[in-house]
Structure 1
Amino acid sequence: MDTPADRLRNARELRGFPTPTEAAQAFGWNEVTYRAHENGGRGIKQPVAEKYASAFRVKAGWILFGDGEAPSSGDGPVAAPRPMASPRGYLAEPNAVFEGQAALPKTHGPSDIQELGITVGGFASDDDAFEMNGQVIDMVKRPIGILDRKDVFALRVSNDSMAPKYEDGERVYVEKRKPAIRDYVVIELKPAEDGRPGKSFIKRLVSMNSGRVTVEQFNPAGRLEFDANAIKQILRVIPERELRGE
């Protein structure tokens, strides 16, 4: 175990999760991002290491640098929670109710939200900007907190410039609603002269007036300004607390 990826894998196994998929599902992580961290395809930054360390009950310094003593199986692996078995031996669905068992609260509504093309979280350059072409690539479940909202769709972030808030591959829900300062937003630029769709970016809104829109990102930290006349639309990213109905 000479690399952070090796130590992360070891921590996951000692915590009682046989596969990366089970760990990602148990803690609500993006599976693609977690697998990339565990197989060494992507580096692990300090905030992300702290998140994994808390979940796996190890030290972030051990994951990143091998500092301190390595965890052992004696620390007590804890398996991921599994569905309750019915008296007949079948696995219950998450919302199934047996005698004496309280109903679990629903977290999602119907799968009626369109997931569209990819947006990006990087500086405006041809190397890392993507087009939001409007093509529907999936139908996803509607979070319980936005059952009555209209003009909502989903997108996926395609790099880690907004991490740890939004990780690479993470799905975000977006609505056509005027954002407030410090809201996270998706900025879509007007189409290019050749007719191709404009570039799209996910950022946090810093300021906005009739002539200029200023946003910020986290990795690398910095600010970016857009000419308001070059923007087709600014969409609001729905915060997690609203998705949960809080």
Structure 2
Amino acid sequence: METEHAEHFPPRQQNFFPLSQVSGADRIPLMSETLHDRIRKRLKDLNLTPGAASRKADLSKEMLRKLLANPDAMPSGKSLTALAGALEVTEQWLLSGGEIVPAVKSDVRAASPTPPMRHEMPNDVPVRGTAAGSHLRGAFQMTADPVDYARRPPTLTNVVNLYSLYVEGTSMEPQYGPGDLIFIHPDKPARIGDAVVVQCQIDPEGHIEATIGILSRRSAEKVTIRKHNPPAEIDLPRETVISIHKVLTNNEIYGV
């Protein structure tokens, strides 16, 4: 009976080069990737600016920008935890990376199985200005850039274009009082009887004012809203109306 003999091969010659002699094209990308690189990747994946990510993490607005500007800087443990949450990755991935890159998340966030604590709610709802309660010249003072950010209620996790406003004046009491924060859903159709924010162009130069009221009637000629204090109805010429946005009720905000 023949005996099988294992074949033996001479050891393969291996060449080692100092890392400084290896060209950039020959480097293994993951070996040279840093925490700063991974942060930049997640900012791009999530379409966030450093300032927006810092605010989302409840850190100072300039924290992340300063960190990225200094390749030798490292965040504190508390800041690392906050950044990981804002960038939707683990702290371990930020520190060391890995073969599996976290999936890019869309604007629709996954619902949590348990209600988050207040400090866990994202502070990412832009406050666009204030709402004045005048009957005649209604005007919200609305800005293109947010004047502040409000915490996002858990039931509004999936609302991409959500914004908020502070109420001033007393024309909508007792429903809304001075200082109340209201949440506006611009993509949810407003029905008769809903509280709404109506934006209007008030002059040929394009200046815009907005007012809050109860949507009473609308036609091709005008939009009519109702005020509470004192009771009154205001007609807004339809050709001046730019948008009618629904103000969310407490039931819609808290999921009652």
TM-score range, shorter-chain basis?
Answer: 0.5 to 0.7
SS in 2 for 1:131: strand
Q: CA deviation at 1:107?
A: 6.5
Taking the TM superposition and a 5 Å limit, the aligned residue runs for 1:128-147 are: 129-147=139-157
Q: Is 1:111 aligned to residue 123 of structure 2? A: yes
Greater Cα radius of gyration, structure 1 or 2 = 2
The answer as to whether partners of 1:155 and 1:172 remain within 8 angstroms in 2 is: yes
Superposed CA offset, 1:181-224 (max 9, x none): 1000001102532343x111010011112221111011111111
Q: Larger RCO: Structure 1 or Structure 2 (Cα < 8 Å, ≥ 6 residues apart)?
A: 1
What TM-score do you get using the length of structure 1 for normalisation?
A: 0.53
SS in 2 for 1:145: helix
Runs of 5+ unmatched residues, structure 2: 1-113
**Could you tell me how far apart the structure 2 residues matched to 1:139 and 1:185 are?**
21
The answer as to whether partners of 1:117 and 1:134 remain within 8 angstroms in 2 is: no
Runs of 5+ unmatched residues, structure 1: 1-103
Q: CA deviation at 1:117?
A: 1.4
What TM-score do you get using the length of structure 2 for normalisation?
A: 0.51
**Number of residues of Structure 1 aligned to a counterpart in Structure 2:** 141
Superposed CA offset, 1:96-151 (max 9, x none): xxxxxxxx9436531111011112222123xx634322231111110122111121
SS in 2 for 1:192: coil
Residues 1:191 and 1:227: Cα distance change in structure 2 (over 3 Å) = closer
Percent of matched pairs sharing the same residue: 24
Counterpart in the other structure of 1:211: 221
**Could you tell me how far apart the structure 2 residues matched to 1:136 and 1:191 are?**
22
The 4+ residue runs of structure 1 with deviation greater than 4 A are: none
Counterpart in the other structure of 2:190: 179
The answer as to whether partners of 1:116 and 1:132 remain within 8 angstroms in 2 is: yes
The answer as to whether partners of 2:115 and 2:154 remain within 8 angstroms in 1 is: no
SS in 2 for 1:194: coil
